[in-house]
Amino acid sequence: MSSYLPEEVVVNILSHLPPKSLLRFRCVSKTWLALIGTPDFVSKNLINNSILNAKSQHPHPPFLLVKAREKFNFPSPFLGLGIASSSNGILCLHDHIQGDVYLWNPTSSLRLRLLPRPIYCPHTKSFLYGAGYGFGFDYMADDFKVVRFLDPLNTSFMADTDFVDVKLEVYNSLGPGLGKQLDTPFDLNMFNNFALYVRTKVYDNGFFYWWANPDKVYDERIVSFDCRNEVFRMTPLPDRSVIGHYREVCRSLMVLNGFVAMSVYPIRRKKKVSFSIWVLLEFGVEESWTKLFRIGHYFDFGRPLCFCKNGELFMENREGQLVLYDPFTQTTKNLQLSTRSSGVQAQLTRILS
Amino acid sequence: MSNQSESPNPTSSSNKITLKTSDNEVFEVEEAVAMKFCTVKQYFDDENNNNVTSGTSTTLIPLPNVESHPLAILITYCKKHLEIKANNADNKKEMEIDMEHYEREFLKNVMPQELTELILAANYLNFKEALDFFCRAVASAIQNKSVEYVRKFFGLESDFKPGEEEKLREEFAWSFEGVDED
């Protein structure tokens, strides 16, 4: 039944396979092994292509750089407005003093929705405040979703408290104002102390991802939330002996072509900093963490922000300017845009095409 | 059999082209369909250049590398492809949705083993859309399969020395988890 297929046809077939299948099929024959290659990021082979190349309809939507400034197009007062997250060109803003949440389209200045303020919990006689937010787009429902972790006021700052009342809610931006409380398979307290990491949450293509801190049961890990099916999953990080202890290295959460990725670099800054990029080829499988590349001794390096396309990386240099780094040519391009403004984090977001 | 009423240029599609397969079957197809097969188009253009005098009507094109079974399927696929394109001329998204729907239904009637035959025919005819579609179909058919299944599917044998394959398997052992039964 088998007919000989020309090599270019075999390459065409293999180019549609995910990394997991390709890594397995390296064992088919020597020819296939040579075609597929190894995940090292710099070779032009099938496995790297599978990791790097976007498969979506609009592979390279434009980016929008949003900076928080004094003069927001909002009616005041906004006491402590910050950018919680962004998705498809819509920003989720969070007033961390008043507790309000806004969805905002920066290109139209239109405020989309306001979530209810913190809720009084009669059981603990305290107000529940949003301790963490996730924000994304549910393609099936054609609607944005906001996930809010509710935490009794101030307890997240008190190290010795047992937080028993942390809750998680999901809101549809078009739906009724009441959030739906979800049961989670783990202790939500692990989402506290977000500040340990540079970039702690990211949204991509229907999934939220968060860092989660170590607790009694688990070491550090990444938690994903499927926006459509409202299901949580988690994956441990690579072993500390491999990537370094969290007290010594910064990790920044990113997404590369649908895969969870992270950059790892030392907290203690020397003159020259090198960092490595890891990618999780299959969510839920710790062994599938793969070190893709290492950027050696980049002298002006501030921090990595997010992947642009085909492995190109947006970074911030030490002057706070936006830089595009191409790992293949190891060259950088200064985009002449300052990411800093009033000490508030800027956000790069993809615009819905 | 053919449905050309919704073709974007009905005037130019009245011409028929005759294709003759390796097993001596003769297919008469609309010009618009035949022109999607780049190999046929090339042949047709060359012929036309060579004898400008003969106007239209029937041109017989031999296809010594294509059998009638895959050609019949490719013609059906091609007609449907053109029809969907014509029906959604101004809406790319709708077209993609219709095409996806058709392709899903199409695959229900095709055995995975038939796909290699179709790929070889589409490759010879240089019918890019069909070739890509069949390649995607093979990819999704083998995505969760074992190495042994894939070898059998492609007619390949392991040419590794003893121990080499085991070493490769160990390197990415996780990728062998959760594979379908053959």
Q: How far is CA A22 from CA A36, A324, B112, in A?
A: 7, 29, 19
Give CA–CA dist A61/A54, Å, rounded. Answer: 11
Same-domain check for residues B137 and B60: yes
Which residues of B fall within a CB distance of 8 Å from A17?
Answer: 139, 142-143
Q: Which of B143, B153, B165 is nearest residue A27 as measured by Cβ atoms?
A: B165
Q: Are residues B169 and B132 in the same domain?
A: no
- Give per-residue pLDDT as tens, A246-285: 778 888 888 888 899 988 887 776 666 678 889 999 999 9
- Tell me, yes or no, whether B108 and B135 share the same domain: yes
pLDDT band at A132 (very low <50, low <70, confident <90, very high): low
A16–B139: do the CB atoms touch at under 8 Å? Answer: yes
ipTM: 0.87
pLDDT (0 to 100) of residue A345: 46
Give the CATH number of the domain where residue B57 resides: 3.30.710.10
Do B157 and B118 share a structural domain?
A: no
Print burial letters for A272-311: b (CB count within 10 Å at least 16), e (below 16): ebebbbbbbbbbebeebbbbbbebeebeebbbbbbbbebb
Question: Which chain A residues touch B120 with a CB distance below 8 Å?
Answer: 3, 5
Whether A29 sits inside 8 A of B156 (CB atoms) is yes
Examine the domain organization and report whether B62 and B86 are in the same domain: yes
pLDDT at B81 over 70: yes
Q: Which residues of A touch B154 (CB under 8 A)?
A: 2, 5, 10, 28
Domain containing B159 equals 147-176
Give chain B's end-to-end CA distance (angstroms, integer). Answer: 39
Do B170 and B130 reside in the same domain of the chain? no
**Is residue B75 located within the same domain as residue B11?**
yes
Verify that B84 and B14 share a domain, yes or no. Answer: yes
In a domain, B182, yes or no: no
Residue B103 lies in a domain: yes
- Pair B90, B24 in one domain: yes
Looking at the structure, tell me whether residues B100 and B115 fall in a common domain: yes
Q: Looking at the complex, does the CB of residue A122 fall below 8 Å from at least one CB of chain B?
A: no
Kindly list the distances between the CA atom of residue B60 and the CA atoms of A120, A237, B16, B19, B125, in Å, as whole numbers in the listed order: 82, 64, 10, 6, 15
- pLDDT digit string, tens, across residues A12-56: 999 999 999 999 999 999 999 999 998 877 777 888 888 877 554
- 3-state SS assignment for residue A179: coil
- Of the candidates A233, A270, A238, the one whose C-alpha atom is nearest the C-alpha of residue A251 is A238
Count of domains forming chain B: 2
- Quick check: A67 and A329 in contact, CB under 8 A? no
Residues B129 and B157 reside in one and the same domain: no
Q: Pick A17's closest partner by Cβ from B113, B123, B143.
A: B143
Rounded to a whole number of angstroms, the distance between the first and last alpha carbons of chain A is 44
- Residues B129, B160, single domain; the answer is no
Give the chain A residue whose CA is nearest to the CA of B149: A28
